[in-house]
Amino acid sequence: MLCMAEWPMDRPELRTIITTYSVPESKLLLNSFIMPKTFYGLAGLQMFAGAMVQFGRRRAFIVTDKGVRALALTVQKMLKGVGIEVEIFDEAKPEVPLSSIKPAAEKMEALQPDLIVAVGGGSVMDMAKASWILYEAPQTDLTNVDAMQPIGLRRKAFLACIPTTAGTGSEATNVAVITDDTVEPHRKEGVVHPELYPDFAVLDPRFVLKMPPNLTLGTGLDALSHAVDCYLCRSSNEISDALAVRATKLVFKYLPLALKYPDNPQIRLKTQIAAMIAGSAFSNGGIGTTHAVAHNIGALFEVHHGMACGVTIPYVIKFYAEVDDKYLSFAEELGVRGGSNEETLKKLIDIFMDFYRKIGAPTTMRDLGIKEDDFKEKLDTFAQYVVKDPTGPFAPRQLTVEEAKELLMDMYYGRL
């Protein structure tokens, strides 16, 4: 039985406000662009530690998981070397269950850190952001965070993110994606607030050298979906467009090389930069249907988020193109030209499908290992979750439940 808890973005009035604000004409009235202070390269971690001394930080709380604890120990050593007390919390859970966040905040409360450092992939960074909220504002209901009302972050601590994957872009976003495990089936939701942007990001290529091929591929596709969907969203702006195009080109060029030469730090750093600027683009310019679908592929079928994101891209380009022509300028940015709009669209989609074949990426939901019976059984719930996803209002085309079902079936059966 479908049980739907109400999150802020479930409210029609809020979705309507965001959709209205996201139209290009609104950008003449007000816009902003926010990025963290970023240190990158082989000396990036050292420079970060030195900066924390300049900012007067004395106690750091590192959020990580057991899989990358060794990398967290490297950060701990660097911070201790400049006189900062450090405690490591390695209990971060994949997909960040809502029920798992309060214990981390309680650990923070005991230490009273003035610096929180996330060392890990997207889930670790999301966990750090969510627990940071509860540390600074313990009475906050994470299922009802109003982006228009202040939380009061940074009265106690700054947030730094050191990613150990190259794709989520969470080190540059104002979003914490968590899984509401109080409902069945579980539902992915985003806690979105302008105060959630990390203060610092550190991109050290040594931290991503050990990523296995599947994780390299999945996180790279995640970054690609951020860039492509952001560019095509009505909420994008000139700055996010520039970063989205650059990130797309970097992924096209360097993801195949990272898969071929995984131990090359120069190549790995390029993929990290692509992920970070794609994250900066979508957190300031919006993201739409790729993630409305991918969030729920993960929640309902336990598929890696990045792989799910990659599958959606060609279908979403086609879906948007039926009502919006921004795909034409995106195609031009990528050097794609056709004799007609229809030919240009086909060539643009072909670029992505050819790229997927080159790197061995899935091109349909069936390729993700989702059984047809399971897909059909959950299709109604799937479509409802997609329509209610918080990314929806930023897309140039708003989905009905029936349109969502049709799009999902296209993605499952490979109908382009």
For the chain, domain boundaries: 37-207, 211-413
Identify the pLDDT of residue 19: 66
Neighbours of 282 (CB within 10 A): 33
**160 has which bridge partners?**
117, 200
Interval 114-139: pLDDT, tens? 999 999 999 999 999 999 999 999 99
Identify the pLDDT of residue 4: 47
Q: In the chain, count H helices and then E strands.
A: 14, 8
Interval 227-271: pLDDT, tens? 999 999 988 999 999 999 999 999 999 999 999 999 999 999 999
Residue 279 and residue 171 in contact, taking contact as beta carbons nearer than 8 Å? yes
Identify the pLDDT of residue 95: 87
More confident call, 200 vs 394: 200
Q: What percent of the chain has pLDDT over 90?
A: 84
CATH topology of domain 37-207: Rossmann fold (3.40.50)
Separation of alpha carbons 412 and 363, rounded Å: 9
Separation of alpha carbons 211 and 265, rounded Å: 12
Residue 206 and residue 269 in contact, taking contact as beta carbons nearer than 8 Å? no
Band of pLDDT at residue 157, cut at 50, 70 and 90: very high
Order of strands across the sheet that contains 158-163: 37-40, 200-203, 158-163, 115-120, 59-63, 85-89
Mean pLDDT taken over the chain? 93
Residue 284 and residue 387 in contact, taking contact as beta carbons nearer than 8 Å? no
Band of pLDDT at residue 2, cut at 50, 70 and 90: very low
Identify the pLDDT of residue 21: 61
Separation of alpha carbons 368 and 126, rounded Å: 24
Structure tokens at 314: 């060609």
Separation of alpha carbons 207 and 195, rounded Å: 27
What's the first-to-final CA gap in the chain, in angstroms? Answer: 32
Separation of alpha carbons 19 and 28, rounded Å: 16
Query: Does the pTM exceed 0.85?
Result: yes
- Whether the per-residue pLDDT at 187 is higher than 80: the answer is no
Interval 28-68: pLDDT, tens? 666 789 999 999 999 999 999 999 999 999 999 999 999 99
Interval 289-329: pLDDT, tens? 999 999 999 989 999 999 999 999 999 999 999 999 999 99
- Whether the per-residue pLDDT at 386 is higher than 60: the answer is yes
Identify the pLDDT of residue 179: 87
Identify the pLDDT of residue 7: 62
User: How many residues in total does the chain contain?
Assistant: 416
- Yes or no: is domain 211-413 CATH 2.60.40.1180? no
- Whether the per-residue pLDDT at 177 is higher than 70: the answer is yes
Neighbours of 32 (CB within 10 A): 8
**177 has which bridge partners?**
190
The one-letter amino acid code at 280 reads S
Identify the pLDDT of residue 1: 38
